[in-house]
Amino acid sequence: MTTTHQADAVVDYDEALSRFDPVMGLEVHVELHTNTKMFCGCPTEFGAEPNSQVCPVCLGLPGALPVVNEKAVESAIRIGLALNCEIASWCRFARKNYFYPDMPKNFQTSQYDEPIAFEGYLDVDVDDGSGGTEVFRVEIERAHMEEDTGKSLHIGGATGRIHGADHSLVDYNRAGIPLIEIVTKPLVGAGARAPEVAKAYVAALRELLRALDVSDVKMEQGSMRCDANVSLRAKTGEPTSAEQLAVPLGTRTETKNVNSLRSVERAIRYEISRHAAVLDSGRSILQETRHWHEDTGVTTSGRVKSDADDYRYFPEPDLVPVAPSRELVEALAATLPEPPAERRKRLQNDWGYSDLEMRDVYNAGAAELIEQTVAAGASPAAARKWWLGEPSRRANEEATDLVSYAAGIGFTPATVAELDSLVRSGRLNDSMAREVLSGVLAGEGGPTAVADAKGLELKQDDGALEAAVDVVIAANPDVAAKISDGKVAAAGALIGQVMKAMKGQADAGKARELILAKLQ
């Protein structure tokens, strides 16, 4: 069954951008992968039997008292430091009161006006429109600690949503898992690139969190979730001009749980087009949450957004304040990994990739894989070629990322390095190596085993190759004459014929050498 949504009017994106300036705010929730929950000792493993990882604290039973997870606080501080934030020397948790069945306490223990980290930034690379990259600074307002809610399952309806369901079940295993919410300031000055900046920011943040080793950051499993706020204001000049920056912000909508990088970009693009249509018609934007629909590429209205007042925040009386010492903060600062932007520059330099090649590698999520493949002995060029070829195509086809795809079928950096070594040793040529790769991806075994089973091996018989070269030269006197005249590029046509004559069982490089040696 397909879901139907009342179609909203939208304005063509470029047209919307000719009259409006978009402003965004991104809220990213990250589940920490601590062994235990935020305020109790329950385990946090994903996918356990429902309600098997609960206790009186995370079920909110009367009289149960929470205790803060030290590891989670340390992770929060490390995240704050990596985002160039200031770290509070003293801060408290707060109760955010609202009623929902997946939240057994009827309040969420969160932080409100005293976040653990605040006033930071993350620099992200975006396309400068002419093949190079440009840095966009995303200002961070705060990163605060809180706990996750449980999960409702709606049974009996066709869509899995609450509407039309017979009954609902609640799994509290997720209730109390430590979350860090990272909130940006309103991001201005991106203009038409706003959706691209948002995607680049979430990608850079994910890379940073992965490097910090604080979370699984799996958007498809919900361990990283993004809410995208968008508003439009009248366009008065260039996005970064003083007159434009002086225009007051418009009313925002908040699109919830946008769970892939691609959706972040699409959802923001859509909201910009939809806001423009509402504003054009003379109506005003309602401050509300919206739901993103991956299948139809639209958002639909959620609930009218509560103001902070409605949550009746107050300081959590059952927890002591968090007051990290200078020494602790300094010790944690010393554990930070190489900043991803610097790491990227270093790797690009080591590998000799162009900006464009490096961007493709990052877009494909292949940097770590290539690093490990090079460490296993492959050349950087070969590592890039193999990972960005067939495996990336298949990962895309299966709508998953390269790392998960490769892990799922046991395709490792060592496998790629082995394939490369078969090419470098002269056993396989390029087209044979592709055939071997297909076999490996199909689960037929490792590269050497697949090459053995398929009988793939370059004939090392130089006599046969030389004979084929002679035949081809004799059959193409005009091409041969050009090569003799110094038009080396013409050799390509002869190499092709030699390879054909050898039924692909020859080394193209060697054929080229022989042709040039005979004609020059």
Residue that is written with structure tokens 């900043």 in the block? 339
56 part of the interface to ligand ADP, by CB under 6 A = no
Q: For the CB of residue 119, give the shortest distance to Mg ion in the complex, in Å.
A: 17
Residue 25 binds: one of Mg ion, Zn ion, ligand ADP, none (C-beta under 5 to 8 A by kind) = ligand ADP
Please report the DSSP string for 232-248 in residue order: EEE--SSTTSHHHHTSP
What are the angstrom distances between the C-alpha of 192 and each of 12, 21, 66, 175, 471?
12, 8, 46, 39, 59
Interface mask toward Mg ion for 5-44; x: CB under 5 A: ----------------------x-----------------
Position among 10, 23, 42, 73 found at the interface with ligand ADP (CB under 6 A): 23
Give me Rg for the CA atoms of the chain: 29
Please report the DSSP string for 88-134 in residue order: -SSB--EEEE---TT-TTSEEEE-SSS-SEEEEEEEEEEE-SSSSEE
Position among 16, 42, 428, 498 found at the interface with Zn ion (CB under 5 A): 42
Residue 194 binds: one of ligand ADP, Zn ion, Mg ion, none (C-beta under 5 to 8 A by kind) = none
Q: For the CB of residue 37, give the shortest distance to Zn ion in the complex, in Å.
A: 5
By three-state DSSP, how is residue 72 classified?
A: helix
Residue 23 binds: one of Mg ion, ligand ADP, Zn ion, none (C-beta under 5 to 8 A by kind) = ligand ADP
145 part of the interface to ligand ADP, by CB under 6 A = no
By three-state DSSP, how is residue 170 classified?
A: strand
228 part of the interface to ligand ADP, by CB under 6 A = no
Residue 290 binds: one of Zn ion, Mg ion, ligand ADP, none (C-beta under 5 to 8 A by kind) = none
120 part of the interface to ligand ADP, by CB under 6 A = no
411, two tokens: 């395709």
390 part of the interface to Mg ion, by CB under 5 A = no
Q: For the CB of residue 31, give the shortest distance to Zn ion in the complex, in Å.
A: 15
The β-bridge partners of 147 are 178
CB atoms within 10 A of CB 190: 23
25 part of the interface to ligand ADP, by CB under 6 A = yes
432, two tokens: 């044979």
414, two tokens: 């060592």
Which residues from 47-76 bind Zn ion, rule CB under 5 A?
A: 55, 57-58
Q: How far apart are CA 189 and CA 234, in angstroms?
A: 13
Residue 229 binds: one of ligand ADP, Zn ion, Mg ion, none (C-beta under 5 to 8 A by kind) = ligand ADP
Q: For the CB of residue 111, give the shortest distance to Zn ion in the complex, in Å.
A: 20
**Which listed range, 50-58, 181-189, 358-366, 439-447, lies at the site for ligand ADP (CB under 6 A)?**
181-189
CB atoms within 10 A of CB 475: 12
Closest to 230 in 3D by CA, of 244, 250, 208: 250
Residue 55 binds: one of ligand ADP, Zn ion, Mg ion, none (C-beta under 5 to 8 A by kind) = Zn ion
Q: For the CB of residue 307, give the shortest distance to Mg ion in the complex, in Å.
A: 12
CB-CB contact of 334 with 119 (8 Å): no
With vertex at residue 429, the alpha carbon angle to CA 426 and CA 430, rounded to the nearest 5 degrees, is: 135
229 part of the interface to ligand ADP, by CB under 6 A = yes
Q: For the CB of residue 143, give the shortest distance to ligand ADP in the complex, in Å.
A: 11
CB-CB contact of 295 with 1 (8 Å): no
Q: Kindly tell me which of 113 and 134 has the beta carbon lying closer to ligand ADP.
A: 113
Binding site residues, Zn ion, CB under 5 A: 40, 42, 55, 57-58
